[in-house]
Amino acid sequence: MRIAVTGANGTIGRQLCADLAKDHSVVRIDLSDSDRDADVRDLAALQAAFEGCEALVHLAGVVSLEASWEDVYSTNIGGTYNAFEAARRAGIGRVIFASSNHAVGMHEIENLPQIYEPEFGLVVGTESPFRPDSLYGVWKAFGEALGRYYSEAHAMQVACVRIGSITEHDDPRHASVAQSSGWLDLTEEQKFKRYASTWMSQRDFARLVRAILASDVAFGVVYGVGDNATRFWDLEPGRALYGFWPEDGVR
């Protein structure tokens, strides 16, 4: 399969492209040091980059819960529209949109810090209403709604993956976790507990992408989180829709 990946130089994109390239033709799309330099704000450039591709994994965007409205509007929301529309025009039939847990992030915020404890018991499903915790989360909710529209109006197969915490070091216990989650009022100890709940390995994310690409599902929303003992997002839709269950997790 010939697969386009936007945001190919990002934390997730680099590892995903390397994995997919083992047995697929991967078109890496980013602003620099990639197969195709294309700005997601440029619809024509994306369409040209997508020509000949059968699937798209859209990872690109300003990844910050403190992103300004200008960035969220032009790069994230506008760029996501451009990605879907360019895919449609280029004849791509499958799109995977990198959504986020922040589309329903208010569940976490209103239950801090007890939500990270094993006895808390909250499990947020994919059918729960959107509860964005930021403009970043609003973008992800928009992308999911847009994906459903393109699936139903244009017969594209669309999967939205609500990613938890996928890191460069690929280790929920790495020292860098102490500097993470700056938008939350957490101690260092609580930050490590958070990652023990929200982490997903790079390997499992690639496995999930592969499971989606091998499926025949018109539209789906799943959580990208490991098999963590204290996870508070529902993994069952991944199994029901795509036959996927993570192999890694914090137990």
Active site residues: 136
Provide the 8-state DSSP code for 21.
T
From 63, 72, 27, select the one nearest 46 (Cα to Cα).
Answer: 27
Backbone dihedral region for residue 148 (phi beyond 0: left; psi -120 to 50: alpha; all else: beta): alpha
> For 140-148, which contacts have Cβ atoms below 8 Å and span 24 or more sequence positions?
140/99, 140/100, 140/102, 140/103, 141/103, 142/77, 142/80, 143/58, 143/77, 143/80, 143/97, 143/99, 144/97, 144/99, 144/103, 144/221, 146/80, 146/81, 146/84, 147/84, 147/95, 147/97, 147/219, 148/219
What separation in angstroms does the CA of 42 have from each of 7, 48, 67, 79, 90?
Answer: 14, 10, 20, 8, 14
What is the H or E stretch that residue 241 is in? helix 236-242
What does the radius of gyration of the chain's CA atoms come to, in whole angstroms? Answer: 17
Between vectors from CA 147 to CA 16 and to CA 222, what angle results, nearest 5°?
A: 55
Instruction: Give the residue carrying structure tokens 């934390």.
Output: 11
